Structure 1
Amino acid sequence: MAPQTDTTFDRHERRISPAAIDHALAGASHTPYWLDNDRRPAAAGALNTEIQADLLIVGGGYTGLWTALQAKERDPGRDVVLLEAQRIGWAASGRNGGFCEASLVHGESNGQAHLPTENARLTELGFANLAELIDTIKRYSMDVDLVEQGVLSVATEAHQVAWLREEAQEHAQVDFLDAAATRAMIDSPDFLAGSWDRTGTVLVHPAKLAWELARVCRELGVRIFEHSRAEDLTESSGRLRVGTAAGAVYAARVALATNAFPSLLARHRLHTIPVYDYALMTEPLTPQQREAVGWEKLTGLADLNNRFHYARPTVDEQGNFRILYGGYDALYHFGGRVRSRYDTNPATFRKLAAHFLGSFPQLSEVRFSHAWGGAIDTCSRFFAFFDTAYDGRVAYCAGFTGLGVGATRFGAKVMLDLLSGERTELTQLQMVRDKPLPFPPEPAAWLGVKLMTHELIRADRNQGRRSAFLKAMDALGMGFDS
């Protein structure tokens, strides 16, 4: 194996002074930027009685909301109830980067590794899903700050340039850009080349998407109860009963959309783990600062490292231009529990600030208004899986691993097909029928994630070459390689 070398971002961490990082992060709010908005709707009331429903949905993030909306579109007379433990969109759905991708399988190579016989069809279904998602946003006049200008992938290490050129050669919608053309779009001395995928990703304001989905659901007749945590799932007199602290719902069908949070079906507990992702949002840039960085198109940005960064511009309610910058660390905590105290991580915030300031030296005086984090649900194959219970009357979907902005709509569609009891193309997909390998119990899960992270770091420092351990994990179907 070739000797390991520092990455671009290793050098940034050493070069940017602690004082500069302190200055950039001083006073940053730890409330997710997207939720720190006066337009956030007031919470709905909690369930405090026993009610009946045709379809009950547990979870008020994207998966649950898309399930409710599509259920009413399929059958406007269906009585649909949705329970949310806290507030609509308060978790991953309201604090992510807002990248809405066509991919259902975390990239073509990951899909090919896991589902080679249907990967091409899943690519088609993914683009159809994205088109239908965009059509739904426009048809219901959803105010979600939709931007259809694609995403720019950039090489920050010399060996990655060939990867980008190959991607552009294989996909008609992707343009290869040399260093000069890349920096003409977004100017960073780190960027050695780029590939601009013009149609595979759109950007949204993630919290507004959740809020607008809830608005449309209510207009279609869905009953939504917030601060109503589902505590148990049982069968009662031929109906499915889901209890809360102060009430219960008796339903003919139940869709479970809890993702990173524990499932009401215990057998799913080892199929996902909560991994913590973090992001920063800049204060508004001055016109001079925006001109210095370029970024005239509101295009998303991502690098190609295993510990990758994602970034995107957004225009705030006052018309100011800001930049979100996140990713890199993906942290798993022993025991696999979701805890609010993990949402703040000063060490990761400092890394991200150093990387941002190093990548964009022309923005050295920019400060961050918000620094936040939260859990996403991760499964071993890096894309969603499905299950049914109670003779097909309960459907479950989880494991989106960062793809949930777009793929949850597809997941909701699959759950509704499963609950219908009919044989459809979607219910017969290998993606739907197969399950990912479960994670081992503790302490093996924690040790495994630590070892995986260490080996991915080594690969980044070794021109992307994967170690024997990573190759073994790839062969087992647990290679975090997308």
Structure 2
Amino acid sequence: MAQTVFERSRPSTRTVDHALSAAVNRPFWIDDITQPRRRRLEAPMIADLAIVGGGYSGLWTAVLAKRRHPDARVVLLEAKTVGWAASGRNGGFVEASLTHGDDNGRSRFPSEIERLIELGLENLDDIERAVGDYALECDFERNGALSLAVEPYQVDALRAATTDDHTVFLDTDAVRRQVDSPTYLAGLWEKRTSALVHPARLAAELARVAEELGVEIFENTPVRSISSSSGSPTAPVVLVTDDARVTARRVALATNVFPSLLRRNRLATVPVYDYVLMTEPLSDEQLRSIGWANRQGLGDGANQFHYYRLSRDNRILFGGYDAIYHYGGRVRPSYEDRPETFRRLAEHFFTTFPQLEGLRFSHRWAGAIDTCTRFCAFYGAARQGRVAYAAGYTGLGVAATHFAANVMLDLLDGESTERTSLEMVRRRPLPFPPEPVASLGIQTTRWSLDRADHHGGRRNGILKALDAVGLGFDS
């Protein structure tokens, strides 16, 4: 089996040991902010809209609901603290795509992909406007993204993806003038479709705005169950917490990777763990050695891909590659510390940037991604339109959550809109099978993707079969 560049050009053990020696197992982004403490719900409450989940999906829903209906009583219930899960742990890539890339969308929604691309760009523009309108202090930078070829077979794919004046193909010399790595063979600079944020700060700022608009946020308030009368579409929905109940006209479920309160969605997603390293701030000399003056977000073209970016204080976040599913599909803190994956990421980092030898990582962490079988978010309504939900973002949800919030509010308002008419919104993904079949299928797919990366991108019979039935995926 052929070796990848990360196996052909490994750094020394001493370099990796030194780099990881002081890294703490905590998300840098959450460490980097301070939030107010919010009370837990301890008394019964009546609301016009109750939102379950204090990540991006829930927070955008709260903000946009108050913009639509300023006088409505909106309550948000968060099991722990605002933004503590995926919204405070991700890479901070704000991608325009609503379909986890155009190729994934084209294979699943061919009749509407061009409109979905337009809607994705409009959605990203709306987020940028919201950053300005609400003075969101979240380090928003719309610098675009560089897709990188690090193996010869990836070069032609990038060249073929050059479609307009905002998408620029870069040969080896040109891409290394942007960011200098010996692993880069070519690049594609997509200048309109991507931005960067400080992810935990975005969540905190959305919570601030929501509260300023009158939303009541309760933390450390897990919702244990949901119930409603089936007799009337106007009957209230009841959410049961440890200490109280919320009776609401409408409910939005924004629980991401955690088990859905609706039985119909219990097999719709599985948690896949993603791992990340963050360096200490680079010195001016170190930054000059790699260039990166235009501060784009970066990602390579493998199935097991890496993503990386600069923070405001010139740290490098470096994550991806391993995507780990644990038998049983549970979310557990013990899964977040995986030394072999952090070591592999550190090796790949110094293969990418050998000129940064001696740099150390300050933080290492992980988070669970809510993966569904179509690899992009799905949406729906239940309980005669009184409950709406969105989930399954599969790691590309920072921007898509804003779109999802509007979809959920459209559904709860009973409106027929362009969004609710989309096939992407109306169609549900296939569920995952129960264990042990789920684990066998996921691990076999991971093995096949790794094999493709080691065979010039060639997909084996398993991947081709998944492609044929609409379950295929590549990055």
Specify the TM-score bucket, using the shorter chain as the normaliser: over 0.9
What TM-score results when the alignment is normalised by the length of structure 1?
A: 0.96
Are 2:343 and 1:350 equivalent residues in the alignment?
Answer: yes
Q: Which amino acid in the other structure matches residue 26 of structure 2? A: T
Q: Is the 8 A contact 1:5 1:461 kept in 2?
A: yes
Given candidates 282, 288, 291, the residue that maps to 1:291 is 288
The structure 2 residue matched to 1:395, chosen from 385, 388, 404, is 388
Could you say what secondary structure the match of 2:324 adopts? coil
CA displacement, residues 35-63 of structure 1 (integer Å, 9 cap, x when unaligned): 012x3212200000100000000000000
Partner of 1:156: 150
Kindly, what percent of the aligned residue pairs are identical?
54
Q: Which residue of 1 aligns with 2:458?
A: 465
Aligned pairs for 1:67-86 (under 5 A) are 67-86=61-80
Q: In 2, are the aligned partners of 1:154 and 1:192 still within 8 Å (CA)?
A: yes
Q: Is the 8 A contact 1:88 1:226 kept in 2?
A: yes
| Aligned-partner Cα distance in 2 for 1:458–1:436 | 26
Partner of 1:479 in structure 2? 472
Partner of 2:56: 62
* 1:63-108: CA deviation from partner (whole Å, max 9, x where unpaired): 0001011100111111100000000000000010000000000111
In structure 2, C-alpha distance between the alignment counterparts of 1:151 and 1:344, rounded to whole Å: 29
Residue 384 of structure 1, CA deviation: 0.5
Supply the AA of the counterpart residue of 1:299.
Q
CA distance in 1, matches of 2:164, 2:266: 38
Kindly provide the amino acid, as one letter, of the partner of residue 176 in structure 2.
R
Instruction: Please point out which of 90, 93, 102 is paired with 1:96.
Output: 90
**Partners of 2:93 and 2:154 in 1: CA distance:** 22
1:166-315 → structure 2 map (5 Å cutoff)? 166-168=160-162, 170-235=163-228, 238-315=235-312
Q: What is the number of residues matched between the two proteins?
A: 471
Please report how far the alpha carbon of residue 18 of structure 1 lies from its aligned counterpart in structure 2 after TM superposition: 2.4
Task: Give 1:21's aligned amino acid.
Answer: V
Letter in 2 for 1:7: T
For residues 290 and 471 of structure 2, what CA distance do their matches in structure 1 show? 38
Answer whether contact 2:11 2:354 (CA < 8 A) is retained.
Answer: no
Deviations 1:256-315 (A, max 9, x none): 000100010012011100000011011111111111111112211100000000000112
Partner of residue 109 from structure 1, selected from 103, 113, 116: 103
What is the RMSD of the two structures over their aligned residues, measured on CA atoms?
A: 1.0
Q: Which moved more, 1:187-196 or 1:237-246?
A: 237-246
**Partner Cα distance (1:131, 1:378) in 2:** 26
Q: Residue 231 of structure 1 aligns to a residue in which SS?
A: strand
Q: Aligned partners of 2:222, 2:164: CA distance in 1, in Å? A: 45
Distance 1:476 1:49 in 2: 49
- SS of the counterpart of 2:351? helix
Query: Cα distance, 1:478 vs. partner?
Result: 1.3
Among candidates 4, 11, 18, match of residue 23 of structure 1? 18
Question: What is the CA-CA distance between 1:325 and the residue it aligns to?
Answer: 0.5
Cα distance in 1 for partners of 2:465, 2:400 equals 28
2:22 touches 2:360 (CA, 8 Å); kept in 1? no
Conservation of the 8 A alpha-carbon contact between 2:16 and 2:347: yes
Alpha-carbon shift at residue 403 of structure 1 (Å): 1.1
* Segment of structure 1 superposing worse, 290-299 or 197-206: 290-299
Give, in angstroms, the shift of residue 456 of structure 1. Answer: 0.3
Residue segments in structure 2 that go unaligned for 5+ positions in a row: none
Structure 1: distance between partners of 2:284 and 2:330? 44
5+ long unaligned stretches in structure 1: none
Query: Deviation above 4 Å: which 4+ runs of structure 1?
Result: none
Q: Does 1:42 align with 2:32?
A: no
Contact 1:298 1:314 in 2 (8 A): no
Hey, what's the Cα distance between the residues in 2 that align with 1:439 and 1:220?
A: 39
TM-fit CA distance, 1:225: 0.2
Query: 1:213, 1:159 → 2: CA distance?
Result: 42
CA–CA distance in 2 between the matches of 1:269 and 1:27? Answer: 39
1:239 Cα offset (Å):
1.3
- Is this contact kept in 1: 2:278–2:316, CA < 8 A? yes
